């Protein structure tokens, strides 16, 4: 590597430090601060399951290997582990020292067993006996009961014992795994709680009453722990004949993969920690001692259980574009011109209505759609099933390898096939990440009819819940060339054939990467010819080395480059002689910034491209992705203003990268604070 790049894993941790900073911000409503703590915990779970497990695999295969940024694998693992440990410590300190007292002050209280009065203890004991005890299975450790391989991210308790049982055995240790079906957060009855909202954690019930699982024995301690495991799935392309069956066989192994991380309660004895580490093949660096619950993710439901609007973000109802108030069908609206939807400021409902109307419209003949993530409950999937029942030719390209959604998608595949839809899984070895919906409809004229295509293309998933939480663009169009391109991509996904040149779309793994490089080079050529060169790109991550090299080269040539990258960025910004013309900004707010927008000045033509793809190796070379232009000048201006310029003007929720790769929070100083997402909420 002849140019510097930043470490990916450290970049992911830096992003999560920015997320945790939201929880540390006293200007954010209290329950939303708690939610950001939970989001950080969830992100760190996935970081361990995927990124840290990947590093461990690399070290097993090549102990003397190096990371792309030039560190030895062992040194990188040490540095990354230490950074992660500091982040976790910071998270628990915030939770214990600031958020818990603030929640208490608002009447939202977590009762531990030491806080219970006589009536509360009686209620807790009864709850334990009737709701918990019947489903708990203690595993006593002896030669006949080896140490159990606990499930990935499950809550477990190591119980120290003494005494002699009915068989004359003298046990020392037992393990109790809390079944996933058990609630981790239990609300105390109002008549018993001295506060408006009283809650008890599952761990508190266990700490107090675990002895009832071991009658007649003495309890020397009950310590919660949690093991995170490698969750990457492996399917051998040479061996697979049915991807769905292969995945169904692999999914159970995710719960029992190699251990990656051990989380233990702070008071766990050192000897027990060593035993747990040894049992799971882990080192001291992989152990995280925490002051509190070993799984803060389980507190995520709390804000929804507390009816305190004053402690949450003001509710936002996504608006409908004016064109959808005319009473016309969605097809008629699209016939009048392209429609741009900006979620979550604008509603996802028009997308759903497009599909629901297509399902019952006698003139609709065929529907084709890609699905990456859509959720366990989906009105959109029900509409596809209804369309198939109504005799439409329905084809769904369902991505079975969508990480952590594999089981959900397998379920949908079975339901779709049951009603007669064609279900395919794309191209093996290439995840189908493109967001496309194609509808073929008979268009009736006075004396004849002809077939017309309608298309929806998006930067985000067909998922109504995340459409309320993630910022994304969706485009509805009947542009002939755009529709023909989408048709050709679907032909690739369901059949066989040589690559067909596309007129409007850029597509991975064929043209997207090359076209990005060409667009960057055109800006360089413009500067060399004495004209303006300007690039703005917004995405979730920037990691692909040749694109980074091209951006460095463009900066050195004098092209002005502004990058808005929410997550990990391997490019160094603002380095003299290398990237002094490049800025990198990360915006963290109420909504997750998710859309990918590429702007090239193009000698004043201002090319605006929307995409499902980040500038990462996987998106550009190992996935099927699309990038599509915004052709309508008014819609183009909207995209520029609503997703690019407004975030560059943000002076209160943005973080700017410094030349050493660290980030600094932008502050308004003497200016009026402007938070881009709040401003957009006001506009809509």
Give percent helix, percent strand, percent coil of the chain, each to the nearest 5: 40, 25, 35
SS3 assignment, position 31: helix
Region for residue 411 given its phi and psi (left: phi exceeds 0; alpha: psi -120 to 50; beta: otherwise): alpha
From CA 14, how far away is CA 396, in angstroms rounded? 37
Cα dist from 296 to 22, 95, 301, 330, whole Å: 16, 9, 11, 43
373 annotated as a binding-site residue: yes
Dihedral sign, CA of 569, 573, 579, 581? positive
Dihedral, 475, 647, 21, 305 alpha carbons, nearest 10? -40
From CA 206, how far away is CA 487, in angstroms rounded? 57
Cα dist from 640 to 301, 473, 674, whole Å: 36, 12, 18
Contacts for 115 with CB less than 8 Å, ≥ 6 apart: none
User: Of 342, 343, 433, 463, which residue is the catalytic one?
Assistant: 433
Q: Would residue 513 show up in a list of annotated catalytic residues for this protein?
A: no
From CA 631, how far away is CA 644, in angstroms rounded? 17
Yes or no: say if 305 and 284 are a contact pair by the CB < 8 Å rule: no
403 annotated as a binding-site residue: yes
Matching residue, tokens 């509710």:
315
Yes or no: say if 459 and 596 are a contact pair by the CB < 8 Å rule: yes
Return the number of other C-beta atoms located less than 10 Å from residue 116's C-beta: 19
Region for residue 228 given its phi and psi (left: phi exceeds 0; alpha: psi -120 to 50; beta: otherwise): beta
Tokens of 114: 């030491």
The burial class, CB within 10 Å (0-12 / 13-18 / 19+), for 337 is middle
Yes or no: say if 567 and 541 are a contact pair by the CB < 8 Å rule: yes
Q: Which of 127, 111, 135 is nearest to 209 (CA)?
A: 127
Q: Which of 338, 629, 371, 635 is nearest to 506 (CA)?
A: 629
CA 509-633-316 angle, 5° bins:
85
Question: Cα 643 to the chain's mean position, in Å?
Answer: 20
43 annotated as a binding-site residue: yes
Contacts for 397 with CB less than 8 Å, ≥ 6 apart: 368, 369, 370, 371, 424, 425, 426, 432, 490, 493, 494
Tokens of 20: 């945790």
Yes or no: say if 431 and 399 are a contact pair by the CB < 8 Å rule: yes
261 annotated as a binding-site residue: no
663 annotated as a binding-site residue: no
Q: Which of 483, 485, 477, 518 is nearest to 503 (CA)?
A: 485
470 annotated as a binding-site residue: yes
From CA 258, how far away is CA 231, in angstroms rounded? 9
SS3 assignment, position 459: coil
From CA 621, how far away is CA 639, in angstroms rounded? 26
Yes or no: say if 293 and 225 are a contact pair by the CB < 8 Å rule: no
- Binding residues for ATP, as ranges, are 43, 470, 566, 594
- Binding residues, as ranges, are 43, 373, 403, 470, 566, 594
Give the catalytic positions in this structure.
Answer: 433
- Binding residues for Mg(2+), as ranges, are 373, 403
């Amino acid at each position: 590597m002849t140019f510097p790049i930043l470490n990916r894993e450290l970049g992911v941790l830096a992003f999560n430090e920015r997320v945790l900073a939201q929880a540390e911000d006293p200007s954010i409503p209290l329950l939303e601060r708690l939610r950001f703590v939970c989001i950080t915990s969830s992100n760190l779970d996935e970081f361990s399951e995927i990124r840290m497990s990947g590093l461990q695999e690399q070290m097993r295969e090549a102990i003397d290997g190096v990371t792309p940024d030039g560190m030895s694998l062992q040194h990188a693992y040490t540095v990354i582990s230490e950074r992660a440990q500091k982040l976790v410590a910071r998270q628990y300190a915030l939770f214990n020292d600031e958020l818990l007292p603030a929640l208490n002050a608002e009447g939202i209280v977590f009762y531990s067993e030491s806080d219970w009065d006589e009536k509360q203890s009686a209620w807790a004991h009864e709850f334990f006996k009737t709701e918990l005890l019947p489903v708990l299975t203690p595993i006593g450790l002896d030669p006949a009961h080896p140490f159990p391989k606990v499930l990935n991210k499950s809550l477990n308790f190591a119980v120290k014992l003494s005494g002699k049982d009915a068989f004359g055995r003298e046990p020392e240790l037992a393990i109790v795994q809390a079944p996933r079906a058990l609630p981790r957060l239990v609300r105390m009855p109002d008549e018993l709680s001295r506060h408006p909202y009283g809650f008890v954690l599952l761990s508190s019930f266990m700490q107090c009453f675990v002895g009832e699982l071991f009658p007649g024995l003495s309890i020397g301690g009950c310590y919660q722990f949690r093991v995170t495991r490698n969750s990457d799935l492996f399917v051998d392309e040479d061996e697979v004949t049915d991807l769905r069956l292969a995945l169904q066989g692999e999914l159970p192994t995710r719960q029992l993969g190699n251990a990656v991380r051990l989380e233990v309660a702070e008071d766990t004895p050192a000897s027990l920690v060593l035993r747990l580490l040894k049992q799971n093949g882990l080192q001291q660096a992989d152990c995280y001692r925490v002051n509190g619950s070993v799984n803060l993710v389980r507190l995520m439901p709390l804000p929804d259980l507390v009816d305190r609007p004053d402690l949450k973000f003001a509710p936002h109802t996504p608006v409908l574009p004016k064109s959808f108030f005319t009473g016309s069908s969605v097809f008629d609206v699209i016939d009048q011109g392209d429609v741009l939807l900006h979620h979550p400021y604008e509603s996802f409902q028009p997308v759903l209505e497009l599909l629901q109307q297509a399902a019952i419209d006698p003139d609709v003949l065929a529907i084709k759609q890609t699905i990456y993530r859509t959720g366990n409950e989906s009105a959109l999937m029900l509409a596809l099933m209804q369309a198939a029942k109504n005799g439409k030719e329905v084809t769904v390209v369902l991505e079975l390898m969508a990480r952590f959604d594999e089981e959900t998608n397998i379920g949908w595949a079975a339901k779709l096939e049951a009603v007669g839809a064609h279900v395919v899984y794309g191209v093996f070895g290439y995840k189908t990440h493109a967001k496309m919906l194609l509808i073929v409809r008979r268009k009736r004229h006075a004396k004849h009819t002809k077939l017309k295509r309608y298309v929806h293309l998006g930067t985000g998933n067909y998922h109504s819940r995340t459409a309320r939480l993630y910022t994304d663009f969706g485009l509805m169009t009947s542009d002939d060339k755009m529709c023909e391109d989408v048709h050709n991509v679907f032909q690739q996904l369901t059949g066989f054939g040589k690559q067909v040149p596309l007129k409007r779309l850029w597509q991975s793994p064929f043209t997207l990467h090359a076209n990005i490089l060409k667009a960057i080079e055109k800006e360089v050529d413009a500067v060399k010819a004495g004209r303006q060169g300007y690039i703005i790109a917004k995405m979730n991550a920037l990691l692909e080395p040749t694109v980074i090299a091209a951006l460095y080269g463009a900066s050195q040539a004098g092209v002005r480059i502004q990058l808005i990258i929410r997550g990990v960025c391997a490019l160094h910004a603002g380095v003299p002689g290398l990237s002094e013309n490049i800025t990198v900004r990360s915006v963290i707010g109420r909504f997750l910034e998710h859309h990918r927008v590429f702007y090239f000045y193009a000698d004043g033509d201002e090319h605006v491209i929307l995409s499902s793809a980040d500038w990462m190796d996987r998106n550009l070379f190992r996935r099927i992705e699309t990038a599509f232009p915004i052709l309508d000048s008014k819609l183009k201006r909207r995209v520029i203003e609503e997703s690019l310029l407004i975030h560059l003007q943000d002076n209160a929720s943005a973080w700017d990268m410094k030349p050493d790769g660290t980030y600094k929070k932008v502050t308004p100083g003497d200016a009026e604070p402007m938070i881009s997402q709040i401003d957009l909420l006001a506009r809509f």
